[in-house]
Amino acid sequence: MHHEMKKGWMKKSMMMKEIMEHLSEEDKKKLAVMKMDMKISMAEQKLEMLKDKKAIVAKKLDMKTSMAEQKLEMLKALRDMLKSKI
């Protein structure tokens, strides 16, 4: 399976090299700009996903903290009730 993927990639790479040979310098520059735009777009999407993930993790941590605080308050209240009955 891996060999087939590598073979396909190599074939595609060779074809791209052949196409690049026939392009003018201006077209090559345009293609390079398009590639950079695509990389920038992908980097921006990744950054946005990481920010979203960070927000989700922060909310989850806030929930855990809140639940721990509630548990602590319940334990203190239970302790106070037991003390008052003694």
- Per residue in 30-74, pLDDT tens? 988 999 999 999 999 999 999 999 999 999 999 999 999 999 999
Higher pLDDT, 85 or 2: 85
DSSP per-residue letters across 19-65: HHHHS-HHHHHHHHHHHHHHHHHHHHHHHHHHHHHHHHHHHHHHHHH
pLDDT score of 1: 56
pLDDT score of 9: 78
pLDDT score of 10: 82
